[in-house]
Amino acid sequence: MPGLTDHFVVLEVVLPLLAAPACVLIRNPRVTRLFSLGIVAACFAIAVALLIQVRGGGVISYHLGGWPPPLGIEYRVSTVNAYLLVLVTAMALVVMSFDSRGGPPRVSESRRHLYYAVFLLCVCGLLGITITGDAFNIFVFLEISSLSSYILVSLGGHRRAVMSAFHYLVMGTIGGVFFMLGVGLLYQATGTLNLREIAERLEPSLDDRGAVLALALLVVGISIKLAVFPLHHWLPNAYSFAPPKVSAFLAATATKVSFYLLATILFVIFGAPFVFGELRLHVVLMPLSILAMFLASGAAIFQTDLRRLLAYSSVAQVGYMTLGLSTANATGLAGGLVHLFNHAVMKGGLFLVVACLLHRVGAVHLDALAGVGRRMPVTCAALVIGGLSLIGVPGTVGFVSKWYLVSGVLERGWTAAAVLILLSSLLAVVYVGRVVEALYFRQPAEDHVRPGLREAPFAMLAPTWILIAAAIVFGLTTNWTYGVAAEAAGLLLQGGI
Amino acid sequence: MRRSRVREMPILRVIARALVPLILLFGLYVQFHGDFGPGGGFQAGVIFAAGLIVYALIFGREALQRVMPTILTERLMAAGVLLYGAVGVAAMFLGGEFLNYSALDPLTTGHYGQHLGIIVIELGVGIAVAATMMRVYYGFVNSRLASENGWAAGEGDAP
């Protein structure tokens, strides 16, 4: 008779899934807030327990409904996805505990429980994509997380939030359809939906048009969700018009889970020898990653709104991750994976700073922020540290990622790409510099002088600083983050999950 | 008003009065016969809700909302999902995996448990789908009311 700990794998998904309708029944805004905070904390604890259990090559397999794979749905946890589970639940916990008086401003008190329900569904979808070992189940959870994130984006106070949520919906649905078609072709070719079973039965070759088409559909579909460079157009609007709390959560988790999905499909299902040896996908992926680093960072330089600036910087950071992926060697892939965590910590922290500034200043145009650094020193210091981490200054997580990425790229023999990574950091210096200049060195314009401007409340500052502190701590000690990422990269390269 | 004339058509009213109970009954049949023949919770929920929506179209939204207020549809949506999930959790407490219906009946060989489990989760699906259909209908009707201010204020009765 299995004990409670044997059910951890499924509880990780079931808890938020059932807590969401429970929120709808509870209705009381204060109770639902505490309730969902408790659920997210429980998920985080479970994720940590799972990661500890599978460290060092362990695997936990859970058969839903008692049906063994390949017939039934299998949930499968290894170091690769346990790492992602910890990341998603940790970010959900921090964002949930960030108190901007409950929900986003547009949501009235009487509907706030629905906001928490949708948030929990989003968490559930992201965890589900990560944990499941069944291709169709991935699609279902992809839709759960996508639909709920469209709703979350549309809650931003601005009228254009609804429009950008709709844009996100159209692009996300196209991505979902591509993914579904790819899964359909894989099912046709192998007769199973279990990921490991597909990987075993599929013998991809360039002559096998079905397999190549399936790979193309899957990669394009996920690239839309991941916002890989030419497919990123939904992202800047979605992140800049969503409530900043939501942007913090989505920027820190949604693209990361998509990255995991892409890595699983390339390395586990199709296998590195086919994708990078025969098909030479890196010929496309590497230039696109470098273009993302330069063009998106370039676009970030010209933004006048802090949120848009950070959103464009996210597109550039996705470029670093996919560059790590395209090296297809242990160091580069581990660099990409460790950047998942590192970017989540710093970008999540930065978007929470935006939420603090928005709460006190009321706007995050660079003009409105002129001189705010002197009035809100603690908040703005967080912004500066997060910004330094985006640049990749030693002592921050950004440096760790870039170090391993550059090593991986050099190992692969792409010297030019390594130089370009370093050059693109200079662009980050420019866009972060513009923010710092506005905060500390500019005098506030006549119509932006705010005499009563104070520091953000503690309930908002504490979660923000937890993330910013993590950006320093994990920049100094890399055993924990890089250790797990390296183990995960090793597993992926062997094709095992 | 064309709309109100539709409501006063005796043929429509008589036939609707006769058909609505049959539609609801058929919905229940599809619901509970789902594990022996074609059907199941999703189809049944849609049929059941369609019956109630037909009633609302002919006899007025208020008539339906007296029985099925908006808030109740929202609660039922959540309750249906929870009922489904509760079966899974119950199986977990009875010693099986999540959603392992065989665990619901530990005494016999397990077929009875499978049968019981599928009936209850399909009931959850049916409740959730029917409530969602009605909530969507209310959503459309209310947004029309809001957009056509003059009409809503003048005529009072909703379609």
Burial B21-38 (b: 16+ CB within 10 A, else e): eebbebbeebbbebeeee
What mean pLDDT comes out for the span B65-76? Answer: 91
User: With DSSP H G I counted as helix, E B as strand and the rest as coil, what are the percentages for chain B, rounded to 5?
Assistant: 80, 0, 20
Q: What is the widest separation between alpha-carbon atoms in chain B?
A: 65
B72, B77, B84, B97, best to mutate vs chain A, most A CBs in 10 Å: B97
Alpha-carbon distance A25 to nearest alpha carbon in chain B (angstroms): 6
pLDDT at B101: 85
Burial A415-441 (b: 16+ CB within 10 A, else e): eebbebbeebbebbbebbebbeebbbe
Per CB-CB distance under 8 Å, the chain A contacts of B143 are none
A4, A18, A36, A118, best to mutate vs chain B, most B CBs in 10 Å: A18
pLDDT at A148: 95
Q: Cβ distance B122 to B114 under 8 Å?
A: no
Q: Which residues of chain A have pLDDT under 70?
A: 1-2, 100-106, 446-449, 497
CB-based contact, B125 to chain A, within 8 Å = no
Per CB-CB distance under 8 Å, the chain B contacts of A7 are 92, 97-98
pLDDT at A106: 67
Radius of gyration from C-alpha coordinates of chain B: 20
Residues 6+ apart with CB under 8 A from A320: A289, A293, A336, A339, A343, A401, A402, A405, A421
Nearest residue on chain B to A12, alpha-carbon basis: B98
Task: Please count the other Cβ atoms lying within 10 Å of the Cβ belonging to residue A55.
Answer: 15
pLDDT at A101: 61
Measured between alpha carbons, how far is A107 from B141 in angstroms, rounded to an integer? 22
pLDDT at B155: 36
Domain limits for position B146: 2-155
Question: What distance lies between CA A480 and its chain's CA centroid?
Answer: 19
Share of chain B above pLDDT 70, in %: 84
Measured between alpha carbons, how far is A122 from A24 in angstroms, rounded to an integer? 15
Question: How many separate domains does chain B show?
Answer: 1
| CA proximity to B52, closest of B75, B69, B33 | B69
pLDDT digits (tens, 9 = 90+) for A56-82: 778 999 999 888 888 889 999 999 899
pLDDT of B122 higher than 90? yes
Tell me if A65 and B97 make a contact (CB, 8 A cut-off). yes
The mean pLDDT of chain B is 83
pLDDT of B159 higher than 70? no
pLDDT of B153 higher than 60? no
pLDDT of B6 higher than 90? no
Alpha-carbon distance B27 to nearest alpha carbon in chain A (angstroms): 24
CB-based contact, A25 to chain B, within 8 Å = yes
Q: Quick check: bond before A70 cis, omega within 30?
A: yes
CB-based contact, A49 to chain B, within 8 Å = no
Measured between alpha carbons, how far is A137 from A130 in angstroms, rounded to an integer? 10
Tell me if A24 and B96 make a contact (CB, 8 A cut-off). no
ipTM for the assembly: 0.86
Q: Which of residues 23-82 of B touch A (CB under 8 A)?
A: 74-75, 77-79, 81-82
Per CB-CB distance under 8 Å, the chain B contacts of A63 are 97
pLDDT at B157: 36
Residue B146 banded pLDDT, cuts 50, 70, 90: low
Alpha-carbon distance A42 to nearest alpha carbon in chain B (angstroms): 16
Radius of gyration from C-alpha coordinates of chain A: 22
